[in-house]
């Protein structure tokens, strides 16, 4: 029989993250959002709770929690604000789990351990000004000279770009394959902010996730030691896609938390607001919107839990994680739109949180595989046009 109950440890984690978010972040998130300000003090607090190394084994400085716990953390953080979950996505999901799986022992000791402990903050650099869903369109190049690579290019729409210490970056190392758009010519590297030729900046004109840091970074002949090559030369595309499996998982769980936040805010308001002599919660079309939020929340949670179960057991979950990400993010957009509608004119103001939910939800429908990309992927799975092939390195199963 399947057991859908969380373990005692998972329930305690859920409670502790929920209480921390409500106590330390929720009271000030409105002002942080209005001021477009990222609060760096949040990071050491998350580190103290063990969140930044959530699913990294203890021997590498992490908390040793399972992958379902990573989903729980992501859901609870986004319930407070999307900017908190984004930290987990890029630091823990995209970067740390990639180093855990593909990194050398030396790389794990030098980078994964301090990242898992929260002494260093990490992110992921794939997207460029002219390349998003089309990974083969990236223009960053890495030229090898002796035992060094020299990276030149620009990455855009990078979460924590102006905050992170370490970056997992993708670049062409085979120029002939670049001309042919052959992804086996892409490699992955670990860059440090302190490397000469590296510079970054913050994007100021975002529409949502205003309490988070999003920016760009540039590389001008950044010298990277060969020991910072992740995986083998030419494995960058595979590593990038592997990383997205982990990032999409946190996005799916996070979007589920946003659906719940929309539901809870709508329930509270609908009971308080009166129209035509009755609380609007009494009206059928308001109930319909709240019912849809509840349905979407329960379905989205089951989808990310299934992906987490597969991860825990060392089973490939690209298909399941993609479906969870697609469903949950589209559901969060629907829930946020309906939450604004339930609030009426007040939903269009900044007095209530649902306007922030509405601005924040849209990003996840675009990044880490657009809604349209995931639709095509899921159709291709069903039609038999797509199959996930084994890779040289797979996410390790959780060891209790």
State whether the Cα torsion 32-33-34-38 is positive or negative.
Answer: positive
User: 123-147 burial by CB neighbour count: b if 16+ within 10 A, else e?
Assistant: bbbbbbeebbeebeebebbbeeeee
* Residues 166/111, Cβ–Cβ less than 8 Å: yes
Task: Determine the Cα–Cα distance for residues 217 and 239; give it in Å rounded to an integer.
Answer: 20
Sign of CA dihedral 67, 371, 99, 164: negative
Q: Is 362 exposed, middle or buried (0-12, 13-18, 19+ CB in 10 A)?
A: middle
Q: Which two structure tokens, joined as six digits, stand for 315?
A: 């089973």
Q: Whole-angstrom Cα distance, residue 196 to residue 379?
A: 45
Q: Exposed, middle or buried, 26 (CB in 10 Å: 0-12/13-18/19+)?
A: middle
**Is residue 182 classed as helix, strand or coil in its secondary structure?**
coil
E strands, the chain, in order: 122-125, 141-145, 148-159, 166-172, 186-192, 198-202, 214-225, 229-230, 274-275, 278-279
Residues annotated as catalytic (active site), given as ranges: 368
Closest by CA position to 248, among listed 67, 383, 13, 400: 67
DSSP symbols for 232-263: STT-HHHHHHHHHHHHHHHHHHHHHHHHHHHH
Helix residue ranges, H only, 172-235 = 175-180
Tokens 């970054």 identify what position?
200
């Amino acid at each position: 029989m399947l057991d859908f109950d969380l373990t005692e440890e998972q329930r305690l984690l859920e409670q502790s993250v929920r209480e921390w978010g409500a106590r330390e972040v929720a009271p000030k998130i409105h002002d942080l959002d209005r001021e477009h300000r990222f609060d760096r003090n949040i990071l050491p607090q998350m580190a103290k709770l063990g969140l930044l190394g959530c699913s990294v084994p203890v021997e590498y400085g992490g908390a040793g929690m399972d992958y379902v716990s990573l989903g729980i953390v992501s859901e609870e953080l986004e319930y407070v604000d999307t900017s908190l979950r984004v930290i987990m996505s890029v630091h823990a999901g995209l970067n740390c789990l990639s180093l855990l799986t593909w990194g050398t022992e030396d790389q794990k000791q030098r980078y994964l351990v301090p990242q898992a402990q929260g002494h260093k903050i990490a992110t992921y650099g794939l997207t460029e000004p002219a390349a998003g869903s089309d990974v083969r369109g990236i223009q960053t190049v890495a030229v090898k000279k002796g035992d060094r690579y020299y990276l030149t290019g620009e990455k855009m729409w990078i979460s924590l770009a102006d905050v992170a210490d370490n970056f997992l970056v993708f670049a062409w190392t085979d120029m002939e394959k670049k001309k042919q758009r052959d992804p086996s010519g892409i490699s992955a590297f670990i860059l440090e902010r302190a490397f000469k030729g590296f510079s970054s900046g913050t994007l100021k004109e975002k529409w949502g996730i205003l309490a988070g840091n999003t920016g760009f970074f540039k590389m001008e002949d950044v010298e990277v030691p060969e020991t910072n090559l992740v995986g083998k030369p030419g494995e960058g595309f595979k590593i990038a896609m592997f990383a997205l499996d982990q990032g999409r998982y946190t996005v799916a769980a996070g979007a589920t938390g946003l659906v719940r936040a929309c539901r809870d805010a709508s329930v509270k308001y609908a009971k308080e607001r009166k129209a035509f002599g009755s609380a609007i919660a009494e009206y059928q079309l308001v109930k319909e919107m709240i019912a849809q939020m509840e349905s979407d929340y329960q379905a989205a949670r089951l989808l990310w839990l299934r992906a987490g179960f597969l991860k825990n057991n060392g089973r490939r979950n690209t298909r399941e994680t993609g479906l969870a990400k697609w469903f949950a993010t589209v559901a969060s957009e629907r829930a946020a739109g309906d939450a604004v509608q339930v609030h009426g004119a007040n939903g269009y103001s900044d007095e209530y949180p649902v306007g922030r939910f509405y601005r924040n939800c849209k990003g996840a429908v675009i990044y880490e595989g657009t809604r349209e990309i995931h639709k095509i992927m899921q159709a291709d799975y069903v039609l038999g046009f797509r199959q996930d092939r084994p890779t040289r390195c797979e996410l390790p199963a959780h060891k209790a």
